[in-house]
Structure 1
Amino acid sequence: MNQMTRNKALQYAKYRLPYSVEASTFVIEKADVSHGVVADIGAGTGLLTQHFVGNVEKVFAIEPEFEMRKISHELIGERQDIEYIAGVAEDTRLLDQSIDLIVAANAYHRFKPEDTMKEFKRILKPTGMLAIFSYDDNSNFLRDTMRVCNMDQYNKRLNATRHQEPVQYFYGDSTPSRYLFKQEHIETWDEYWGAVISGMESPDESEDWFEAFQKAHAQRFHQLETNGVITVRYSTEVWIGQPKYR
């Protein structure tokens, strides 16, 4: 797996599709945590974290990659109501029953499900809630972006970093509610390619399949573009509920 370099982390922060501010506001109200403590698991460069900082009492941003934590800190700024922790979903380094709300974005695909659920059970307060954010891709744009370059090297990396459990699995014996918040995003080639290459599974320029990978994406972009841009229509998908773990 490629190392998360500063350049790759910067591309991630700059070019990844944004999450809906409205969705985060909804979750804060639904979970009643405006005066509570939130843990963002797999916080990355703060794409989701930023919507909670300043709107709840305290945020713990749990992220194992140094460069992503550093950029998140640079973008959000020095504040007393956020703490960055070099942890993972399976070992957050948080105190027992200290969290009112756990949030996680697309990083949940990388969590080890069973170990993560044990950790969530440990850190959540008895009335604590879990909200998982993702992209609803009913146009299949994101799916097709991942499939456009059907190379063994890329597919192996994807398979090695993603479990097969559905999002509802992380709620144990409870059934979460699902909400969609529609969005639209305009992308140039630089923005499209920046989002693609920011993924840890994508090749570095030094790898022998980088050129073919880039060429395949350039061909796809030019098939989709109008006047040099494409329009990505998607929704921020939110699953929220109070998990019940045995």
Structure 2
Amino acid sequence: MKNTERFSTRVNNYIKYRPHYPVAVIPYLETATGLTRQTIVADIGAGTGISAQPFLDNGNKVYAVEPNKEMREAAEKLLNRYADFIAVNGTAEHTTLPDASIDLVVAGTAFHWFDQQATAAEFRRIGRKEAWVVLMWNVRQAELPFEKGYEKLLHQFGTDYKDMEHRNVGSSQLSSFFQPGTMQEKVFQNAQLFDFAALKGRLLSSSYVPEEGHPSHIPMMHALEDLFQKYKEQGMVKFHYETKLYVGKV
């Protein structure tokens, strides 16, 4: 399956159950990049608009570049109340945006799908002279017993979860993407609470999880319910995340 098609059948769960970004991201970027309401933002691999919304709420014009038709149309429907939201059918390597048109390039939980060399060239092309790039991820933690059990479940049932793990990107891999001496790192704490229905939706929002009809789907759901019953508190379980930001220039 092409990377751009992996989430086509998972849009509804993605919208409902994927984590958003902490509100503290915006004031941090005001300090780190000079972000203002006038900053023109390109959100690359924008998906259903989760990463675009904080900037729209801040009053920014956002070009949301997303190659997946189903996700892009969902973003258009969810964010049509914002006059400055523009959905664009494009990729990180070929955004279709004009030369030198963007002040801030953002990729939220998407950069690991990109061709880094071609993406860097495209970001340089669309970025204005002083443009900044922000790469951010909500990184699910696996320290507590429930979180470790969930991670074990993904290894057991995920169709290509181990391959996805290899896509994890950190400061050592990104140092060559950014201009030397420009990369800044920042970490925020983030969390989600789930009842069982929501936990199921969160699981099924992941592209490496077998969907209904797959032979592993029903055994996986039974294992998920067992995990939930073991660790629930007041009918809920909790995911902890570190929201990691990498800010720099290309």
| Same topology, TM > 0.5 | yes
**TM-score, structure 2 as length reference:** 0.84
Q: Which residue pairs with 1:181 in the alignment?
A: 188
Return the match for 1:218 from 215, 218, 225: 225
Secondary structure of 1:231's partner? Answer: strand
Confirm or deny: 8 A CA contact 1:131 1:240 kept in the other structure.
Answer: yes
Look up the match of 2:78: 75
CA distance in 1, matches of 2:149, 2:89: 33
Tell me what 2:122 maps to.
119
Q: 2:154 corresponds to which residue?
A: 149
What does the per-residue CA deviation read over 1:150-176, in whole Å, with 9 as the maximum and x for residues that have no partner?
348612x66279646535243243441
Q: Sort the Cα spacing of 1:158 and 1:61 in 2 relative to 1 into closer, same or farther, 3 A.
A: farther
**Is the 1:42–1:62 contact (alpha carbons within 8 Å) kept by the matching residues of 2?**
yes
Q: Does structure 1 residue 89 correspond to structure 2 residue 92? A: yes
Aligned to 2:35: 33
Q: How many residues align?
A: 241
Question: Is residue 12 of structure 1 aligned with residue 14 of structure 2?
Answer: yes
* Structure 1, unpaired ranges of 5+: none
Opposite residue 38 of structure 1, the aligned amino acid is: V
Cα contact 1:38–1:56 (8 A) shared by 2: no
Q: What is aligned with 2:214?
A: 207
Name the SS of the counterpart of 1:148 in structure 2: helix
| Aligned residue number for residue 66 of structure 2 | 63
User: What letter corresponds to residue 63 of structure 1 in structure 2?
Assistant: E
Correspondence 1:24 to 2:31? no
Instruction: Check whether the contact 1:130–1:241 (CA below 8 A) recurs between aligned residues.
Output: yes
Distance 2:148 2:129 in 1: 37
Q: Structure 1 28/61 Cα, relative in aligned 2: closer, same or farther at 3 Å?
A: farther
- 2:103 aligned with 1:100: yes
AA aligned to 2:97 is L
Partner amino acid for 1:180?
Answer: V
Q: Counterparts of 1:162 and 1:59 in 2: how far apart (Å)?
A: 30
TM-score normalised over the length of structure 1: 0.85
Give the superposition deviation at 1:26: 2.2
Q: How much does 1:84 deviate?
A: 0.4
Q: Which 10-residue stretch deviates more, 98-107 or 216-225?
A: 216-225
For 2:97 and 2:226, the matched residues in 1 are separated by 46
Change (3 A) 1:68 1:215: same
Task: Give the equivalent residue in structure 2 for 1:159.
Answer: 163
Query: What's the CA shift string for 1:140-197, capped at 9, x where partnerless?
Result: 4777645423348612x66279646535243243441111222332111111111110
Structure 1 residue 110: Cα displacement: 1.1
* TM-aligned CA distance change 1:114 to 1:145, over 3 Å: farther
The letter for the 2-side match of 1:236 is T
Question: Deviation per CA, 1:27-62, whole angstroms, max 9, x where unpaired?
Answer: 245322321210111111111111101424411001
**Aligned-partner Cα distance in 2 for 1:140–1:88:** 35
Equivalent pair of 2:183/2:249 in contact (CA under 8 Å) = yes
Q: Is contact 1:104-1:133 (8 Å) kept?
A: yes
Q: Distance in 2 between matches of 1:161 and 1:89?
A: 21
C-alpha RMSD of the superposition: 2.6
Does the 8 A contact of 2:179 with 2:249 survive in 1? Answer: no
Alpha carbons 2:46, 2:52 under 8 Å: kept: yes
The answer to whether residue 136 in structure 2 is matched with residue 133 in structure 1 is: yes
Q: Which moves more between the two structures, 219-228 or 201-210?
A: 219-228
- Helix, strand or coil at the partner of 1:100: strand
What is the percentage of aligned positions where both structures have the same residue?
26
Preserved contact between residue 105 and residue 134 of structure 1 (Cα < 8 Å): yes
In 2, are the aligned partners of 1:19 and 1:236 still within 8 Å (CA)? yes
Cα distance in 2, alignment partners of residues 163 and 222 from structure 1: 31
**Which of 194, 199, 210 is equivalent to 1:192?**
199
Alignment check: 8 A CA contact 1:158 1:201 kept: no
Gaps of 5+ in 2: none
Cα pair 1:112 1:163 within 8 Å, conserved: no
